[in-house]
Structures are given as structure tokens and as C-alpha cells.
Amino acid sequence: MASRRPTLRLFAQCKTKRQFNNTWTPRRAASSFQSSGSARQAFSNSRNYLTLAAAGLAVATTLSYKMAVEDPIRCDTPTLAERDQQTKREKGVTDASPMRLRMEKFVKEQQKEIVRALEEADGTPFRVDEWQRKEGGGGITCVLQDGKVFEKAGVGVSVVYGTLPKPAIIKMRANHKNLAQDDNIPDSLEFFAAGLSLIVHPKNPMAPTVHLNYRYFETANPDGSSGAWWFGGGSDLTPSYLFDEDAIQFHKSLKEVCDAHDKEYYPRFKKWCDEYFYNKHRGESRGIGGIFFDDLDETVSDKENTFAFVQDALKSFAPNYISIINKRKDMSFTEKEKEWQQIRRGRYVEFNLVHDRGTAFGLNTPGARVESILMSLPLTARWEYMYEPQPKSREARLVEVLKNPKEWV
């Protein structure tokens, strides 16, 4: 409708009250005219029409200029999601592509590798759901339920395009001053977020639950180039029954990855993990930790080196965890030990629903896919009123470690 308005306005302004003589007919052959007077009349009419045509052209030119200056027809600027789709169609994703496209490609590749490794350990295929967000982006959610080894395992990739309103920009500037200048905070900013999230809940209470997440966030400038950016992520182990050798192996693998990039990473990220995955209302950690980091931007390291660290950390996960699972999945256990596992699962649920920022962010994002966000929750959990483990029991030792995190390597 908007595109028709300049034309209608031009038509309206070109209308005139003068009534034209509709009896004039175009000139045919000279022999068809009955007299020279008829010829002169035809010539006079032609001259009048040429004069009117010239006047109409002048008016149209003036009006066209006026509309172009005062009321130009506007074309919508492509969104960041549309720009990226076009780039992928025309050029694919290479090392020269924007980091957001490289991260999306990487996490999708790793999702396939991890799903393959878990399927081999369990013998049961994953259900794979691909979904799209009308706001831009989408994801792939892979879930295994009631398998031979895993009660529930979820490996999800999500890609989110959206717009940050001004209040969100102001809040996020607390950790990212380069998000906008103090005297020039925009009303909105386009953003991109992509990540891989994983949770595995084994059936056997001797086998530990594990969680992993690696993600990338950036804002976009009006021309589609990258603005502010940062990486986040980590992985952590949550056993119901503590095997020190498993804890040492898990942490040692993470430390080796961290040390290869920065020897300050592991102690810093291990402490961060212990503090973040903490059930404040219970006064205990969710598990025995691992590493956790957020907001890694140019103040810590450059984009390429940080991406290389994230790649190595994610690639190291499957071999490390699967070797622990293979040692524990067939161990014998009692009904009481199974009940303890369910109680610990309840504490896991409490953290995810009460304290986890990732869950809250996901559920509050427009177009959120709730099933994918809550895939981290176990199929079964248990709450018993005023439950306390027996003193000096294996259960009591786990609680002691959760209340007082250890240095495992």
C-alpha cells in the first residue's frame, strides 16, 4: 500500500478541471479531410495537446523531485540473520568468515561427534529434532531417553538472532564497556548467540552425571560487522558416589587443555566453577566441579586464541567422559544407592531451576524453545523430608566434599 501512495498523489495533483474536447480524432491520410479548414482545426488541436503534454511533464518532474526529497520510498535494511544466510549461501563458511558463523559450524560438527560417542556407549540412537526461530536462527536438539546406559542424555545446539533493547545494553555494559559509548548508547543492538549444551544422566548411580556448555555472543554494527564479543563455557562432573580417581582424571584433562593456552586459566576457572555451581539454599556445590568461565573478551585474550581454547576444551570432552562411563556403567548397586542417586538428582534440579543463569536467559528469550532448554532435567528425581546421610558413610563423604570443594590436581 505504501508503495502506491506517491503514484496516487501524483495522479491527484495532475488532475485538472478543464474539460477536454473528446471529439477530435487522430490525423489519418490527407485525402480524408474535407477541407483546409478541417486540417487547420486538427493542427490546432494537436498543438493544444502537445502544450498540455509538456505542461504535464513539467508538473510530473517537479512532483517527482519533491517526493524524492520530502518523502522518499524506504527499503528495509537486511537483518543480521538475513545477511548471514546470504553469506553462507554464496560463500560457505571458511576461516575468513565472521566468528559467529565459524562458531556455529564448529558446535554443529562437535554435536555430531559427541552424539556418535554416546550412542556407541549406550547402543541406543538419539532422537534428533531440528527447529527454527521466526526471529532468526534455530537449533538441533538430540535426546536419548531410557537407554541401556543413560537414563537421559541431551546434546543441543542453538543459534539465536535477536535485538537487545536499551535497558539490556546498559545492564550488559557493566561487564562489557565496549558494548556502547557512555554518551552514545543506542536504543537497540542486534545480537547473535550460539552454543552447544550437553547433559548426561546415567542409570547406574556409580556413574557420574556430566554437564557441558560452550557458547559465543556478539553484537552487530549497522553494517553487519562484529561489535562487542565474548566466549563462555565449561564442563563439570556431578557424581552420586565419589571415586577419587574419576575426579582426578576429569580435572587433569581440563587442566591440560587450560595450561596449553594460559596457565592461569585452570585455577581461575576451577574456582569460578566451584562458586557458580553452588546451591546457596543448601550450602553445598552441585557437584565436584570442573571449569567455568564467562565474558572472555579482548581484555583477556584476542578472539582467535580464545576460539582455539574453546575448540580444544570441547574436543577433549568425549574421550575423557566416555572412559569414566565405561568403568562405572556395569557396576552393581543396591536399591538404597539408587534412592541416593535420586535425592542427588533433586539437588541438581534445584540448582538448574533456581540459580542457573543460562536457564533463566533461555526461558526469557523471545521465541524460546522450552523443551530444548529444559532437556537438562533428569527423567526422575526424589525429595525426602529432612533427609540426612548416615555418618561416615559414602554418602556423607560426598556431602562433605560438596560443602568443602577439593583441589583434585
Indicate which residues carry an active-site annotation: 211
Q: What is the DSSP string of 336-398?
A: HHHHHHHHHHHHHHHHHHHT-HHHHHHHTSTT--HHHHGGGS-S-----TT--PPTTSHHHHH
CB under 8 Å to 370, separation ≥6 — which residues? 363
Comparing CA positions, the residue from 253, 204, 232 lying closest to residue 409 is 253
Query: By the 8 A CB rule, do 293 and 262 touch?
Result: no
CA–chain centroid gap for 18, Å, is 64
Query: By the 8 A CB rule, do 165 and 188 touch?
Result: yes
Matching residue, cell 585452570: 266
Matching residue, cell 517526493: 67
What Cα–Cα distance (Å) separates residue 242 from each residue in 72, 247, 255, 322, 395? 70, 8, 20, 17, 8
Comparing CA positions, the residue from 225, 232, 165, 242 lying closest to residue 406 is 242
- Please provide residue 216's backbone torsions phi and psi, each rounded to the nearest 5 degrees: -140, 140
The three grid cell numbers given for residue 55, joined into one nine-digit string: 505542461
Alpha helices in 71-163 (DSSP H): 80-91, 99-122
Comparing CA positions, the residue from 175, 160, 267, 289 lying closest to residue 216 is 160
Counting beta carbons within 10 angstroms of the beta carbon of residue 301, is it exposed (0 to 12), middle (13 to 18) or buried (19 or more)? middle
The three grid cell numbers given for residue 294, joined into one nine-digit string: 564467562
Question: For residue 404, is it left (φ>0), alpha (ψ between -120 and 50) or beta?
Answer: beta
Angle between helices 99-122 and 303-315 (to 10 degrees): 10
SS3 159: strand
